Amino acid sequence: MDSFRYKDGTLYAEGVPVRKIVEDVGTPAYVYSRETFLDHYTKIDKAFAEVPHLICYSVKANSCLAVLAVLNEAGAGFDVVSGGELVRVQKIGGDMKQVVFAGVGKTDEELAQALRAGILMFNVESEAELENIDRIAGQLKADGEIREPARVALRVNPDVDPKTHAYITTGKKENKFGVDLERASRILQEAGRFPNVRVAGIHAHIGSQITEVKPYQESLGKVVKFIQEHRRKEVPIQYLNSGGGFGIWYQDRKAQPASKYAEVIVPLVKDSGCTLVLEPGRFISGNSGIMLTKIVYVKESAGKRFLIVDAGMNDLVRPSLYGAFHEIWPLDAEALPPTRGGGPAEGAAYTQSDIVGPICESGDFLAKDRALPKGLGRGDVLAVYSAGAYGYVMAGNYNTRPFLPEVMVRGDKHYVVNRRQTVEELLEREKVPQELL
């Protein structure tokens, strides 16, 4: 569910007519609903209430400070993948004891930064990384900068197919993530080699936008068996981190409510005797945001109809990168979108169009052959739904296009939480030394 609804033929974000936001910040722009973030966070929290758990919101999905601050207020921890994301969490006053740090390529600087900050643990992806963490923690300890050993969760690759897009599949043996269970077992047995590290957990993130519960059952089944075997050998594994990956509705309403994932995960967590760590990103932020874009031109060519809009693949890359589907519907429309209680309204006329951006790449599109109400034209504003996750965070400045503003709505008020970048700001770090000319 989300809080973007049509009333009297116009779209509202919570209690604010979206038209009002367009008047304030223009287009293209991202708009977020505070209530929706909190609703999705709470759904997960309630679904897993039966077991001790920590929800570490995956900052990569939407790292806007206002989003992090709202989730922090609700009690969330955070999953970060870079020194930059860690600074974001520090900036909003996040509790470092609720922060996990993931990623295959953490640098020495990032490891030291996180150790000094006192995060809960690293998700470790390889033996080489474990050795490096041990070395850096040893140095910091010798220098009196830290006292405790570094806590880590070993990321295992359970070789399970999560049945999602290949680019966001991470738990199959051919993927670059984690270590296989056999190697993980060897690492645990040799953990004494790393005196400045304490292996406190096992981590298994198998992919993103997973809309079935079975892959979790399969993967965590293997992980829990592994934990039980190693408990017996007295390896004190305290945390079971199931990663993120819960899918959302983009098009076909196939995704599951949090309670369905909990139905299969909770019994396994009980068997493991561990505290569960969850790293949801998309589930919390995906449906909490929309992107607004204005039609600049309508073009008919070789029997095709193109709506050329002012947002490009640099602003929202998911359709170009993954062939992702985003529901798109005009702000002002008599008929509701098909997935919002709509379905073509009686008597309303529709046409098929490609919705494309202004960038000189054929891959620059938001939708292909999309049925939209007839009569849309220059100046009409479209809402691109489910753009709250992997939207703004994946944006770039290609074609020297500035970053979009981000707006958060609470009740009947909206707040610009990140203003539109100017071209001057975009060029700020560049210089042309005379010596080059």
Ligand X SMILES: Cc1ncc(COP(=O)(O)O)c(C=O)c1O
Active site residues: 360
Site for ligand X in 200-239 (CB under 6 A): 205, 208-209
Give the shortest CB-279-to-ligand X separation in angstroms: 4
Give residues with Cβ within 8 angstroms of 219, minimum separation 6: 158, 160, 162, 171, 204, 206
The residue among 134 and 279 lying less far from ligand X, judged by its C-beta, is 279
Cross-strand bridge partners of residue 57? 78
Closest CB to ligand X among residues 165, 368: 165
Which lies closer to ligand X via its Cβ, residue 208 or residue 386? 208
Q: How far apart are CA 90 and CA 94, in angstroms?
A: 6
Question: Using CB under 6 A, which of 102, 133, 152, 181 touches ligand X?
Answer: 102
Residue 61 makes contact with ligand X by CB under 6 A: yes
Asked if 244 interacts with ligand X (CB under 6 A), we say yes
Q: Which residue, 33 or 209, has its beta carbon nearer to ligand X?
A: 209
Determine if 85 is a binding residue for ligand X (CB under 6 A): no
| Shortest reach from residue 201's CB to ligand X, in Å | 13
Nearer to ligand X, 86 or 333 (CB): 86
CB 281 within 8 A of CB 60: yes
- 314: which 2 tokens? 């640099």
Among the listed residues 89, 110, 88, the one whose alpha carbon sits nearest the alpha carbon of residue 98: 89
CB of 79 to ligand X, least distance (A): 5
Footprint on residues 166-205 left by ligand X (CB under 6 A): 205
Binding mask 268-307 toward ligand X (x if CB under 6 A, else -) reads -----------xxxxx------------------------
Q: CA-to-CA distance for 405 and 349, rounded, in angstroms? A: 33
Are 374 and 334 contacting, i.e. CB atoms less than 8 angstroms apart?
no
| Distance, CA of 23 to CA of 321 (rounded, Å) | 31
Any contact of residue 100 with ligand X (CB under 6 A)? no
What is the nearest approach in angstroms of ligand X to the Cβ of residue 398? 23
Q: How far is the CB of 281 from ligand X (least distance, A)?
A: 3
Would you count residue 58 as binding ligand X (CB under 6 A)?
yes
- Those residues with Cβ within 8 angstroms of residue 409's Cβ, 6 or more apart along the chain or in another chain: 3, 13, 14, 15, 16, 21, 31, 32, 33, 34, 415
Residue 284 near residue 41, CB atoms below 8 Å: yes
Binding characters for ligand X, 330-369, by CB under 6 A (x = yes): ----------------------------------------
Helix/strand number for the chain, H first, E second: 12, 20
Q: Considering the complex, what minimum distance in angstroms separates the CB of residue 209 from ligand X?
A: 6
Interface with ligand X: number of residues (CB under 6 A): 17
Contacts of residue 430, Cβ cutoff 8 Å, sequence gap at least 6: none
Q: What angle do CA 311, 167, 161 make, to 5 degrees?
A: 140
Q: Which is nearer to ligand X, 98 or 208 (CB)?
A: 208
Q: How far is it, in rounded angstroms, from Cα 38 to Cα 35? A: 5
Among 2, 14, 35, 79, binds ligand X (CB under 6 A): 79
Cβ neighbours of 255 (radius 10 Å): 19
243 touches ligand X by CB under 6 A: yes
Q: What CA–CA distance (Å, rounded) separates 207 from 262? A: 17
One residue of 245, 289, 312, 391 binding ligand X per CB under 6 A:
245
Return the number of the residue (36 or 209) whose C-beta is nearest ligand X.
209
State the Cα–Cα distance between residues 352 and 369, nearest whole angstrom: 5
Element (H, E) at 426: helix 423-427
Distance between the two ends of the chain, CA-based, in angstroms?
57
- 43 touches ligand X (CB under 6 A): no
- Residue 132 CB, shortest distance to ligand X, in Å, is 19
- Binding residues vs ligand X (CB under 6 A): 58, 61, 79, 102, 205, 208-209, 243-246, 279-283, 389
